[in-house]
């Protein structure tokens, strides 16, 4: 089925918390424009924030010489966000289950879990170097946004 792009923007940003905030704010703006409801918009924004934190903190380790890349795309079917870093790579299968009893009291390790909880599809691609995470939220016919 044709999936025409109606809006697209991309950024290349420093490995900083300010970049995380910018990516989160853009996600919120795009989610609103795509017509997601008031409960879903913060979930999308949080998932994208978590992906950006992952790129800045775990991927690039705040390295000032490395950048993160964020691309936002609204199609007729979906909101698609791609976040990538220039780090050593991430094995999504190697991430411990934060709901397991032995992990439930850990002070970290819930970011990817929340991304998966709030988005419809989450895909990882190794870039050598770096990791690209693609987050997809499907629009429903009731959403009137462009």
Tell me which residues touch another protein (CB under 8 A).
17, 20, 42, 46, 49-50, 53, 57, 98-99, 104-111, 113-114, 117
Within 8 A by CB and 6+ apart from 69, the residues are 10, 11, 12, 13, 82, 83, 84, 85
Q: How far is the CB of 3 from another protein (least distance, A)?
A: 29
Q: How far is the CB of 1 from another protein (least distance, A)?
A: 32
Q: How far is the CB of 7 from another protein (least distance, A)?
A: 25
Closer by beta carbon to another protein, 108 or else 128: 108
Residue appearing with tokens 């910018």: 22
- With H, G, I as helix, E, B as strand and everything else as coil, classify residue 36: coil
Closer by beta carbon to another protein, 47 or else 75: 47
Q: How far is the CB of 123 from another protein (least distance, A)?
A: 19
Dihedrals φ, ψ of 89, to 5°?
105, 150
Within 8 A by CB and 6+ apart from 26, the residues are 9, 11, 48, 70, 72
Closer by beta carbon to another protein, 34 or else 48: 48
Residue appearing with tokens 């002070």: 107
Tokens (6 digits) for 96: 């411990």
Closer by beta carbon to another protein, 3 or else 121: 121
């Amino acid at each position: 089925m044709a999936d025409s792009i109606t809006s697209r923007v991309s950024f290349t940003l420093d490995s900083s918390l300010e970049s995380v905030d910018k990516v989160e704010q853009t996600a919120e703006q795009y989610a609103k424009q795509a017509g997601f409801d008031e409960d879903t918009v913060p979930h999308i924004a949080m998932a994208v924030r978590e992906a950006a934190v992952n790129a800045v903190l775990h991927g690039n380790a705040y390295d000032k010489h490395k950048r993160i890349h964020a691309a936002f795309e609204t199609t007729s079917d979906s909101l698609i966000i791609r976040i990538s870093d220039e780090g050593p790579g991430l094995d999504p299968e190697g991430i411990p289950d934060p709901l397991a009893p032995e992990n439930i009291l850990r002070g970290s390790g819930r970011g990817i879990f929340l991304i998966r909880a709030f988005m419809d599809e989450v895909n990882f691609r190794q870039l050598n170097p770096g990791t690209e995470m693609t987050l997809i939220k499907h629009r429903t016919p009731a959403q009137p946004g462009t």
